[in-house]
Amino acid sequence: SAVPDLTILNVDAPTEAISGQSFSVSWTVRNNGADTGNRAWYDAVYLSLDQIFDRNADIYLGFVDHVGGLATGQSYTQTQSFSIPTGLSGPFYVFVASDSGNSIYERANETNNSGYDGRSMLVTLAPPADLVVGTITIPANGVPGQNATISYTVENRGANAALGSWYDSIYISA
């Protein structure tokens, strides 16, 4: 008997994105086979360095559930935002794999469940944090060999968070 055949018709991703931030991608899935019945599955989104989908090597970004049936010839379009992992840069292809968990039995029709945007998306590194020393409070007088209390503030004037760790140094100059 006939079985469903979920096919990715198109994937539309932006041409540019920033590492550590979100981007929006849209895709359309069509059922070229028999009615799926009232079933649920999920579509998964990946970044790939090349135009060959490899779920073991490509970068998994997340998934979107599809609930309900899809009759023969019907399609749906989904738009979702995903975050790019921090530190990635370079050109990536955005892939979508429909029914990524193989919830829908398609017999030999599984090879067309993935598709990608034919244009690569250039991922650039986010601008760095900009740590700036603010107010510095020092005592009016100091005694050589004795402790002194010095306080200061540091603020980030950059567009992105300061990640990781750092240390501050204090210098005394005549």
Indicate if the pLDDT at residue 174 is higher than 80: no
Mean pLDDT over 107-133 rounds to: 93
Average pLDDT value over all residues in the chain: 94
- Per-residue pLDDT tens over the stretch 145-167: 999 999 999 999 988 888 788 89
DSSP tag of 103: -
- Residue 2's nearest CA partner among 128, 161, 89, 109 is 109
Which two tokens mark 47?
């970044």
pLDDT of 23-39, one tens digit each? 999 999 999 999 999 99
The token duo for 42 is 């999920």
Structure tokens at 129: 């944090």
One-letter amino acid for residue 103 of the chain: S
Instruction: State the pLDDT at residue 165.
Output: 86
Over residues 85-109, the mean pLDDT reads 95
Q: What percent of the chain has pLDDT over 70?
A: 100
pLDDT tens digits, one per residue of 48-71? 999 999 999 999 999 999 998 999
Record the pTM: 0.80
Least confident segment among 84-93, 102-111, 165-174: 165-174
